[in-house]
Structure 1
């Protein structure tokens, strides 16, 4: 027989020996599971991708909130005539876009119609960012117009 390690007490009875064997099996099972998890590259890659996706989603939410705040600040600072002009321009753009959309649906090939529908969905999904960009353009145009008059 082999000698037991010096740091582990020897079993005094068959029952103690069974408990030690069971404990050793349990520890060995946990070790094997840990090693198997480390070697499962596919699962680890999926977990990493899920983590990255979650972080990107959180960052996108933060950026949308910042864009909404920036839009509100810009809109608060704009004079009413500029706001009215921007509103009219947006209404006109929507009308023209609707007309173009109907024309596109009637005459465009299917791949182009599909791409246009994707772009429209993307614009709807990112409305806040688009509005912030439009407000920024309007503010810049307003400032340029003021400097030329002055």
Structure 2
């Protein structure tokens, strides 16, 4: 029997053995990488945190849009159901409030220290950025007070 005849009966050649070893090393390398990824709890936590953060931001944006839409609908509904004289009085009252606020702001600016002025400006910017919900709330409050006042006089 020669070496070639032995190889035909199931004994691998040195080249086949090298290929098997190389294939096994590749498989082992992939397995080790997979196990290392599973064992890296810190990386998994970061990935999970990023996913949860993104999901929360999406939900917050959706909820914010829905709230603004509902507030605008409420404003339109209140305006539609409020009689014109009441709307005029509300507009006059709003103008008076703006004038009084401007005067009070000027007085406060003259008397307030600089850190307080900075914080006040920042708060005013937040209010300006969210006008619609604040206006809707003011209109609803005014309508509620007017209705309550009207019912109280009966």
Q: TM-score, normalised by structure 2?
A: 0.73
Q: Is the 8 A contact 1:82 1:138 kept in 2?
A: no
Q: 1:116 aligns with which of 93, 116, 120?
A: 120
Q: 1:89 aligns with which of 86, 90, 93?
A: 93
Would you say how many aligned residue pairs link Structure 1 and Structure 2? 138
Q: 1:23 aligns with which of 20, 27, 47?
A: 27
5+ residue gaps, structure 2 = 1-11
Q: Is the 8 A contact 1:74 1:139 kept in 2?
A: yes
Larger Rg over CA atoms: 2
1:130 Cα deviation after fit: 1.1
Counterpart Cα distance in 1 of 2:134 and 2:107: 24
5+ residue gaps, structure 1 = 1-11
1:25 Cα deviation after fit: 0.8
Counterpart Cα distance in 2 of 1:42 and 1:17: 36
Counterpart Cα distance in 2 of 1:105 and 1:90: 22
CA-atom RMSD, angstroms?
2.5
Q: Is the 8 A contact 1:67 1:128 kept in 2?
A: yes
Aligned ranges 1:1-150 → 2 under 5 Å? 13=16, 14-36=18-40, 38-40=41-43, 43=46, 47=50, 48-150=52-154
